[in-house]
């Protein structure tokens, strides 16, 4: 990647690379329904929204670790196991800030919100990889994400 290409990439905003047609769930959505959303949508996380604003997130790992491993059934509601300690970027933030936050928090996906707090989309490391030829930056971020326990915390 040339210096010009790096500079142009550094100026990209989250809204330019995020997935905006995100499937969402509600607190009362069951684990089974969320797992089917993930399966059918080929995604690893489902934002939980209330009145358009993100109130939690559930990952495939959450379903296994907080759900199945804890012995809860498939009818358990997401509100009982979702992560509520959220962090996110705004649609107008720069992509490099999202990548830095993913690395700091050791996550592969990051919700993106509008100024009013409404869910705008989600950025995954795959989105970053598709937009960037800077393999070194991606490799470093993925190494940082994979180096320890995830940051998502249960309520």
Sign, CA torsion 74/79/80/85: positive
| CATH numbers and ranges of domains, the chain | 3-146 (3.10.580.10)
Residue 150 has pLDDT above 90, yes or no: no
Query: What is d(CA 50, CA 141) in angstroms, rounded to the nearest whole number?
Result: 31
- pTM here is 0.77
3-class SS of residue 40: helix
Report pLDDT digits (tens) over 50-64. Answer: 999 999 999 998 888
Residues in contact with 70: Cβ distance below 8 Å, sequence separation at least 6, in sequence order: 81
Query: What is d(CA 55, CA 44) in angstroms, rounded to the nearest whole number?
Result: 17
């Amino acid at each position: 990647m040339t210096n010009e290409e790096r500079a142009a990439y550094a100026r990209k905003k989250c809204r330019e690379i995020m997935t905006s047609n995100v499937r969402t769930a509600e607190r009362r959505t069951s684990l089974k329904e969320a797992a089917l959303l993930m399966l059918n949508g080929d995604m690893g996380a489902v934002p939980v929204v209330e009145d358009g604003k993100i109130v939690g997130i559930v990952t495939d790992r959450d379903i296994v670790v907080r759900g199945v491993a804890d012995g809860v059934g498939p009818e358990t509601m997401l509100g009982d196991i979702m992560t509520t300690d959220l962090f996110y970027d705004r649609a107008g933030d720069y992509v490099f800030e999202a990548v830095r936050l993913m690395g700091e928090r050791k996550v592969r996906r990051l919700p993106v919100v509008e100024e009013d707090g409404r869910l705008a989309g989600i950025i995954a490391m795959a989105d970053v990889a598709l937009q960037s030829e800077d393999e070194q930056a991606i490799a470093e971020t993925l190494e940082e994400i994979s180096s320890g326990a995830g940051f998502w915390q249960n309520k």
